[in-house]
Structure 1
Amino acid sequence: MDNDIRPLLEESIEIAASPASVWALVSDVRRMPDWSPQVTSTRLRAGFETVELGAQFTNRNIHGELEWTTRAEVVRFTPEQELAFRVEDNWAIWSFALAASDTGTVLTQRRELPAGLSDISKELTDGFLGGQDAFTESQLAGMRETLEAIKAAAEG
């Protein structure tokens, strides 16, 4: 069992589109199934109509044969700059940060663990997702795939 949990995962991509165009894609978490190889469904929870600070939602995720649901809340929402959400089940904060560049936008996706990782998440990762190192590598690959898909949509 490997307990080497990386507190920060980060991937960036240069997109030949304005921050406003990229924001239009990433600011609606309901589009995550369009980009992420792990997310199959994202739905706002009852009582929430729009994606904004404080909005809560559920994600349906897959990894190989496994499927699970997570619950999350938008914790940072600054138009054309940053969207971040905290996953209640494992305490991870996922974010998209946008920065204008000479050729368009640099989009950065991060997974941060400021409060660590929940015990249940550690157990599930070690027991069913191949261990921390293997799952971390699959998350990084998924982040790259997600960013590539957003780039293709923004530039398409």
Structure 2
Amino acid sequence: MEEQTATPPPSVPTSGEAQSPAAGHEVEPLLEDSIEIMAPVEKVWSLVSDLPRMAEWSPQVVRTFLRGGRPVRLGSAMVNLNRRGLLLWPTSTKVVRFEPAVEVAFKVRENNTVWSFTLEPMAGGTRLVQRREAPHGTSRISHVLVDRVLGGQRIFQQELREGMSQTLGRIKAEAEA
């Protein structure tokens, strides 16, 4: 049985580099989705912890370059090439949380967000949770670019939610194959 949930985040704080958002321009502090996968935690971990494979699952990631080679570990640095339509842009990331078979998280330097996968054992498999954390909003440049180039925060965040759902679904298909 597959379960996907989206947790509606609270309103964004106005500290740090967070913007003073106008209506419809808020950066949500947490985007989250989850899925139940009928595969053991170890199998799911082998997929999500191999971050250079993100392009296989995420509709936004074109390629991930891991600096320093595999395996991914705490402190690993990556450059991601992202796409939305004809737009391509690079981001630099660093693994900031890494607990084998439990969680891997990386921070995006350009926008100050943290993306993570958390694995929770369950009967017959694994609950996989993907999150995008932005507790203090995003960087000024990211906020401006999303508003002016990517259609605004609300539209872009909805695309991120849809992308998270696709990513989780593709990981599930790979893990259960």
Is the shorter-chain TM-score for this pair beyond 0.5, marking a shared fold? yes
- Report the equivalent of 1:96: 117
Report the CA distance between 1:28 and its aligned residue: 1.0
Amino acid at match of 1:90: N
Report the CA distance between 1:44 and its aligned residue: 1.1
2:32, 2:132 within 8 Å by CA — same for their partners in 1? yes
- Report the equivalent of 1:129: 150
Q: How far apart, CA to CA, are the structure 1 residues paired with 2:120 and 2:112?
A: 26
Q: How far apart, CA to CA, are the structure 2 residues paired with 1:18 and 1:64?
A: 35
Is residue 57 of structure 1 aligned with residue 57 of structure 2? no
Amino acid at match of 2:42: A
2:29, 2:136 within 8 Å by CA — same for their partners in 1? no
Report the CA distance between 1:3 and its aligned residue: 2.1
Report the CA distance between 1:116 and its aligned residue: 2.1
Moved over 3 A (4+): none
Percent of aligned positions that are identical: 49
Q: TM-score, normalised by structure 2?
A: 0.85
Is residue 42 of structure 1 aligned with residue 64 of structure 2? yes
Report the CA distance between 1:103 and its aligned residue: 2.1
- Report the equivalent of 1:149: 170
Q: Which segments of 5 or more consecutive residues in structure 1 lack a partner in the other structure?
A: none
2:78, 2:94 within 8 Å by CA — same for their partners in 1? yes
2:79, 2:90 within 8 Å by CA — same for their partners in 1? yes
Equivalent residue runs for 1:82-121 within 5 Å: 82-121=103-142
Number of aligned positions between the proteins? 154
Q: Choose 140-149 or 49-58, whichever is displaced more.
A: 49-58
Q: 1:148 aligns to what SS in structure 2?
A: helix
Q: Choose 59-68 or 139-148, whichever is displaced more.
A: 59-68
Q: How far apart, CA to CA, are the structure 2 residues paired with 1:137 and 1:69?
A: 21
